[in-house]
Amino acid sequence: MKKTMIALATLAAATASFAQANITGGVQFGYVKDNAGNKGFTSWGAYLDITATEDLGGGMSVAAFMELNADGTRGGGVYSGDRNLTLNTPVAALTFANSRSGGTNGAALVAPVNLWDGSYGVGSASVITRKPVDAVVLSVPVAAGLKAVVRYVESDIDYYTTPGAATWAVGGSYSGNGLSVQGNFVSTTFTDGLKATLAATGVTNPMTSSTELTVVYDAGVAKIGLGYDSARRGKQDGKDEAATLLSVSAPVGPLAVGVNYGKRASASFYQLGAVYNLSKRTNISAAYGNADSGTKATDEYALVMSHSF
């Protein structure tokens, strides 16, 4: 792992004359219990974020981002996280991204919760979930703080990883005066192969559209997040319910505390978290989470020390 980090730092230094590159990262250790019942002191892991920009002239630029994560196990490998490439122009931004779905829903969860399985693990995945996706995103500024956004996404079907779904999302975002709002109408086209896969699970008439809305307001003394996700695409039409999310976070000097809550039909989860900042780059966090899939409840907790650089 050390050799990999040294090699990356050397590469960034060698290419500094060609592009403005920046490397940040972090390391975490703690005592953890996950949703599977495993517990003990462990290396939470480490990550490197690499960003680079280039001015193309004429008000245009290119920005690149990639994340590398280190397996917490000694001798473990390094694996890729999110990565994207954005072409910025005076009138719009075009982004190519490899990421995970659920980002809009996740934005509503503002509490300082640091858990091994988090909000997308066993149980809570019955409320919201994430899957690997490839996306092309066009963002067009409309007014101060307001953007219109169009996304084309592949393999974005909740609970199904079989390729064969193409998704369009049309929506927008607003940010200003402490308020952040994101909303989307999402429509999916299924291939015959994916329809057959769904039919084998009993989904003979899958829903093909959904809506989502996230609102976050930062009042200074507290931050409040609200989220809504309608019945999910890929589920049997009329057999799924909408999800609602509620989150609150409040600073108390160097301490921040908060709670996340989510519910969809009989499934629900809640999480309590606190972070104490020892400095701008080092903190200690404590969190507890409970998730109920509707048939089984699990819990997790963690006490973690984190340092970023």
Fold classified for 52-62+84-308:
Porin (2.40.160)
Residue 229 has pLDDT above 80, yes or no: yes
pLDDT of residue 279: 95
Q: For residue 50, give the nearest of 18, 17, 20, 95 by alpha carbon.
A: 20
Q: Which two tokens stand for residue 7?
A: 């090699």
Residue 5 has pLDDT above 50, yes or no: no
Residue 17 has pLDDT above 50, yes or no: no
pLDDT band at 131 (very low <50, low <70, confident <90, very high): confident
pLDDT of residue 19: 54
Amino acid identity of residue 295, one-letter, is T
**pLDDT (mean) for 264-291:** 96
pLDDT digits (tens, 9 = 90+) for 81-109: 899 999 999 999 999 999 887 667 889 99
Amino acid identity of residue 292, one-letter, is D
CA–CA gap between residue 38 and residue 31 (Å, rounded)? 11
Greatest C-alpha distance within the chain: 58
Average pLDDT, the chain: 88
Q: Where are the domains of the chain?
A: 52-62+84-308
CA–CA gap between residue 272 and residue 277 (Å, rounded)? 17
**pLDDT (mean) for 264-270:** 95
Residue 156 has pLDDT above 80, yes or no: no
pLDDT of residue 220: 93
**pLDDT (mean) for 294-303:** 93
pLDDT of residue 160: 43
Beta strands in 155-296 (DSSP E): 165-176, 179-190, 209-218, 223-229, 243-252, 255-264, 267-277, 282-292
**pLDDT (mean) for 157-166:** 54
Cβ contact 287:119 at 8 Å: no
CA–CA gap between residue 301 and residue 289 (Å, rounded)? 6
Q: For residue 148, give the nearest of 133, 169, 129 by alpha carbon.
A: 169
Q: Which two tokens stand for residue 122?
A: 């066993």
Assign 178 to helix, strand or coil: coil
